[in-house]
């Protein structure tokens, strides 16, 4: 259903360094590289953009979150670890969520360097 998501940043070079590493782990490729916005495209065709806002200052939203689908739980663990290494902040370490038990929903949550909330997730083992 979702085809694109975008977050604002106050420092595009810093955000690009952060998301280049995350994208690499998720097998996404940088497809737009301008001085105001960078975009990554995943294997499923969905795109994530990070850039300077059209007007005003970049602010993280309260209750706002986007999610990246990972091919395995190991990739979720690796993305979360990389985000922490790069200066992201924990919003929930990797683990099984919800009532589905060990073969259900597995996710990790973190905030990027601008305070934007990210979820990395998958359903199944």
Q: Tell the CATH topology of 4-52+59-123.
A: 2,3-Dihydroxybiphenyl 1,2-Dioxygenase; domain 1 (3.10.180)
Q: What is the C-alpha to C-alpha distance for residues 113 and 89, in angstroms, rounded to an integer?
A: 8
CB 26 within 8 A of CB 14: no
Q: What is the pTM of this model?
A: 0.92
**Environment class of 60 (CB within 10 Å of its CB; exposed 0-12, middle 13-18, buried 19+):** middle
Q: In this structure, are residues 121 and 106 in contact, taking their beta carbons and an 8 Å threshold?
A: yes
Q: Over the stretch 1-28, which tens digit does the pLDDT of each residue have?
A: 779 999 999 999 999 999 999 999 999 9
Look at residue 125 and tell me whether its pLDDT is greater than 90.
no
Question: pLDDT tens, 48-78?
Answer: 999 999 998 999 988 999 999 999 999 999 9
């Amino acid at each position: 259903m979702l085809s694109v998501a975008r977050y604002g940043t106050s420092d595009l070079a810093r955000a690009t360094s952060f998301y280049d590493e995350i994208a690499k782990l998720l097998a996404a490729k940088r497809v737009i590289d301008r001085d105001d916005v960078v975009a990554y495209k995943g294997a499923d065709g969905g795109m994530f953009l990070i850039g300077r806002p059209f007007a005003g200052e970049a602010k993280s939203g309260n209750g706002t979150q986007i999610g990246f689908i990972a091919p395995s739980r190991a990739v979720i663990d690796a993305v979360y670890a990389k985000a922490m290494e790069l200066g992201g902040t924990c919003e929930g370490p990797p683990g099984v969520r919800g009532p589905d038990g060990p073969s259900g929903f597995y996710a990790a949550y973190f905030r990027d360097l601008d305070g934007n909330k990210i979820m990395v997730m998958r359903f199944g083992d």
